């Protein structure tokens, strides 16, 4: 009998039959309020459906098979599974306006509730998503709706100081 016939969550036992399984939660945490001007990001536009970026030089990723970059990033890739996602952004306005930012899948479908802020309540806000996928997929942050968002140069360090992403694998 081969001990390798028994595999749990992709983990094979040792030759003595012992499994080493983690009971910790798997998560991604990105964004701790770092200060970096948005003009140093790869962003080229703040129009509707433009890619939006968040900043962290030392993100934490404990989800096996998931990937996310560091510095300025706009996307993340998750393996098959179910995930709870919360994210936060803030932008600067040039006049009375509003902005909504959401998560888009590879088919450019908006799959989250967008975080939305406006000039009157100038504050960071939060969006949420429940992702249930059967294979690897990459997701991207995009501006779902914008009115009078200031230029990239005028964003200064406001986006980086307020951005946050937390992904918890729930199944």
Partner 1 sequence: MSHNAQIYNGSTSQADGTVSTAILNAQTAAMSTPAFNGSSETVNNGHRFPFIFNASFCRIATSGVTVVTATAANTPFATNQSSYAEAFTINNAGTYLLKANPYFTFGAASGSAMTCRWRDTLGNNLGPKTRLSCDGSWQYGNIVYAVITITSPRTVFVSCSEKSGTVTLTGQANLTFSWGYLQILKLTK
Binding site for partner 1 (CB under 8 A): 1, 6, 8, 13, 16-21, 23-25, 27, 29, 31-33, 60, 86, 88, 90, 120-126, 161-164, 166, 168, 170-171
Tokens of 158: 């406001």
CA distance 83 to 81: 7
Which residues partner with 76 through β-bridges? 68, 139
- Nearer residue to partner 1 within complex by CB, 3 or 49: 3
The overall longest dimension of the chain from CA atoms, in Å, is 72
- Nearer residue to partner 1 within complex by CB, 65 or 106: 65
- Nearer residue to partner 1 within complex by CB, 142 or 162: 162
| Shortest distance (Å) from residue 34 CB to partner 1 | 8
Which residues partner with 56 through β-bridges? 71
| Shortest distance (Å) from residue 31 CB to partner 1 | 5
CB 85 within 8 A of CB 131: yes
- Nearer residue to partner 1 within complex by CB, 86 or 156: 86
CA distance 113 to 86: 10
């Amino acid at each position: 009998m081969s001990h390798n016939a028994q595999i749990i969550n992709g983990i094979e036992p040792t030759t003595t039959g012992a499994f080493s399984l983690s009971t910790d939660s798997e998560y991604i945490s990105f964004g701790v309020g770092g200060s970096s001007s948005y003009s140093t990001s790869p962003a080229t536009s703040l129009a509707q459906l433009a890619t939006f970026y968040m900043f962290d030089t030392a993100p934490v990723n404990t989800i096996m098979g998931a990937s996310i970059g560091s510095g300025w990033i706009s996307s993340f890739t998750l393996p098959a599974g179910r995930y709870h996602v919360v994210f936060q952004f803030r932008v600067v306005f040039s006049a009375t306006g509003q902005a909504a930012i959401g998560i888009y899948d590879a088919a450019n479908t908006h799959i989250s509730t967008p975080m939305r802020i406006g000039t009157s309540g100038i504050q960071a806000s939060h969006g949420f998503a429940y992702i249930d996928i059967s294979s690897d997929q990459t997701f991207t942050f995009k501006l779902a709706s914008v009115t009078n968002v200031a230029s990239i140069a005028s964003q200064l360090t406001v986006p980086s100081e307020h951005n946050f992403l937390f992904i918890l694998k729930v199944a």
